[in-house]
Structure 1
Amino acid sequence: MEKLPASTGWQWVKQGFALFRKQPGGLSMLFLGYMFCMLAISIVPLLGQLLPVILVPVFSVAFVQGCLYIDQGKRVLPSLLLSGFRKPALPVLLGLGVLYILMAIVAIGASSLVDDGLLWQLVTGQLSEEAARAAIPESRLGLGILLAIAIYVPAAMAFCFAAPLIYWKQVSLGKALFFSFFAVWRSLSAFIVFASTWFAISIVTSQLLAMLFGRTPLMMQMMMPLSMILTIIMHCSFYAAYRQIFGLPVDEGKTVSLDKPND
């Protein structure tokens, strides 16, 4: 894993757009299938709030696998949604999803040290809308959010490439987190440019829609498909980053372990 220049982050974004342009219909159908599955899972009693988060790594495999198919000249089909449910990756991916929840709980819980638990109450829905409006101006909610972000960022670095490493390289959860964290750390400037570019894209697109349609219901209707497209392209950009850092993934059904050199 070589150290990459900051400009590489911009190249990943451009490559994400290029991948999307090759098969926009297939990737969009894949995303719509993902959203339908998440909606169906969310209505499951008791586990409906946890399962969608736990399954995020499992379903995320479908998007990077779809990008690999585009690289290989294959059609992206909705059946790719089942990619992450294949053994031996499934139990490890589910463990990664559980870790998502645990780290979020730790980060938001730690914010209570500076904001008297206000962020926790907001996230868990313990405050009514009126109570929240009254409490926020007099609180240190901003500090709580900053602390939560500072705690969660290292975890996000470890999560970044963990799912595709588990799926394609068949490494353990611990090794996937390790390799992902140091891949991001070694090219941190590139990832800062990457994140900043996507932040700028989201701000500019939302402002353009506001200028064109005003703060109207039509703007919100236009925002939904645009957000979907940008989310898909962001997944493509992450694949481009993985491809440059860890190399082009091998064909489905073949695996390369990080524990031993390739032949």
Structure 2
Amino acid sequence: MTQIRKVPLSAGAEWVLGGFALLRKAPVALSILGLIWGGLSALASFTGQVWMSLVLAVLGPILFGGVIYAAREVDQGRSPAPGHLLQGLREGRGGRLLAMLLPQLIALAVLVVLLVVMIGPAQLEHIAQVMEQMKTNPDPELAQKLPAGRMMGWLLVALVVGLVAGLFTFLAIPDVMFTERGAFAAMAVSFRACMRNLGALLMMTLLLFIAVFAMSLACNLLMYVLALAIGQMPAMFVAQLLLMSVMLPLMGGVVYYAWRGLLGEAPLPAASAGTGSDGHIEA
């Protein structure tokens, strides 16, 4: 039976600090992984290559699994390499990692149905017409014609559905990378572990949001400076690359530490973990 550890609220902060610590231990090697993935994403975005964006979206779980694998390599004193991005494929875990797309696809289907139910076909057509008009006539009065209340309600529901879908894969990707557990079993364990440690997850999410916001602000300031020297589009491309080179390995490290603390090979000290009367970690 899988042991799911109960951790305190402060564990979420420890995961984020652990991600930064890993990045400091191997800043260049980990940033290269982010540059490769981020560079391909930026190239697809700036060139309008829809097929490339779709391929990268499908490969997302595999690539992120590779970033998490590289984070463990750094944690265990080894050097990460660009080839680690495809480590899941090399170890025959590609199918299980691609299964991580299912919660997102189901969430997308649910949100499409809710969009039609909550807003209605007629209003959706009206929204499309207004948005088309605003491309050539950005009149604020046009926005007043939109069903703002229904749209806000749907956005709130979309946020909840997206977060729930994320609970299934948050720990499942590292679990598939580092254990022989099947994809659906890993997703079930991930959901149970996340629900049991919502406090730590909320703390982690808050701190990550602050960190990413600060990094985005710094990259935007750099972009404005670079735009004066090399132009707007090249500056945007460079700024996005820099952001991804830090953000992706940071998030990989945070998820690795979260998995290690809740399910993996390095449990928290007994004083921090939830224990039963017999001294065993509660499942």
TM-score, normalisation: structure 2: 0.73
Question: d(CA) in 1 for partners of 2:223 and 2:94?
Answer: 44
Give the equivalent residue in structure 2 for 1:166: 176
Give the equivalent residue in structure 2 for 1:95: 99
Give the equivalent residue in structure 1 for 2:261: 244
Give the equivalent residue in structure 1 for 2:118: 114
CA contact (8 A) 1:118 1:141 kept: no
| Partner residue of 1:190 out of 200, 204, 229 | 200
Asked if residue 13 in structure 1 is aligned to residue 16 in structure 2, the reply is yes
1:229 Cα shift?
Answer: 1.0
Question: d(CA) in 2 for partners of 1:120 and 1:174?
Answer: 35
Give the equivalent residue in structure 1 for 2:272: none
Asked if residue 143 in structure 1 is aligned to residue 153 in structure 2, the reply is yes
1:213 Cα shift?
Answer: 8.4
The size of the alignment, in residue pairs, is 246
Give the equivalent residue in structure 1 for 2:109: 105
1:177 Cα shift?
Answer: 0.8
Q: 1:59 to 1:129 in 2, by over 3 A?
A: farther
Query: Which structure ranks higher in relative contact order (CA pairs < 8 Å, sequence separation ≥ 6)?
Result: 2
Q: Aligned AA for 1:228? A: S
User: How is 1:18-57 mapped onto 2 (pairs within 5 angstroms)?
Assistant: 18-38=21-41, 47-57=51-61
Q: Aligned AA for 2:185? A: K
Give the equivalent residue in structure 2 for 1:154: 164
SS in structure 2 opposite 1:74?
coil
Report the aligned-residue RMSD: 3.6
CA contact (8 A) 2:68 2:253 kept: yes
Q: Aligned AA for 2:80? A: V
Q: Aligned AA for 1:30? A: L
Give the equivalent residue in structure 2 for 1:177: 187
CA contact (8 A) 2:29 2:81 kept: yes
Q: 1:172 to 1:71 in 2, by over 3 A?
A: same
Give the equivalent residue in structure 2 for 1:60: 64
Q: 1:136 to 1:96 in 2, by over 3 A?
A: farther
Question: d(CA) in 2 for partners of 1:66 and 1:159?
Answer: 18
1:226 Cα shift?
Answer: 3.5
Structure 1, residues 27-83: CA drift from partner, whole Å, max 9, x if none? 111122223455688899885453322211111111111011112211111111220
SS in structure 1 opposite 2:77?
coil
The structure with more radius of gyration = 2
Structure 1 gaps, min length 5: 250-263
1:101 Cα shift?
Answer: 2.9
Q: Aligned AA for 1:191? A: L
Asked if residue 83 in structure 1 is aligned to residue 87 in structure 2, the reply is yes
Question: d(CA) in 2 for partners of 1:201 and 1:236?
Answer: 14
Identical counterparts, % of pairs? 23
Structure 2 gaps, min length 5: 267-283
CA contact (8 A) 1:119 1:145 kept: no
| Partner residue of 1:202 out of 188, 212, 221 | 212
CA contact (8 A) 2:103 2:168 kept: no
Structure 1, residues 80-115: CA drift from partner, whole Å, max 9, x if none? 122021353111212222543332232344233323
Question: d(CA) in 1 for partners of 2:210 and 2:123?
Answer: 26
Structure 1, residues 5-42: CA drift from partner, whole Å, max 9, x if none? 11111111111100000001001111222234556888
Question: d(CA) in 2 for partners of 1:137 and 1:17?
Answer: 46
SS in structure 2 opposite 1:235?
helix
Structure 1, residues 127-164: CA drift from partner, whole Å, max 9, x if none? 54726973576322211110111222221101111112
1:167 Cα shift?
Answer: 2.2
Q: 1:238 to 1:55 in 2, by over 3 A?
A: same
1:183 Cα shift?
Answer: 1.0
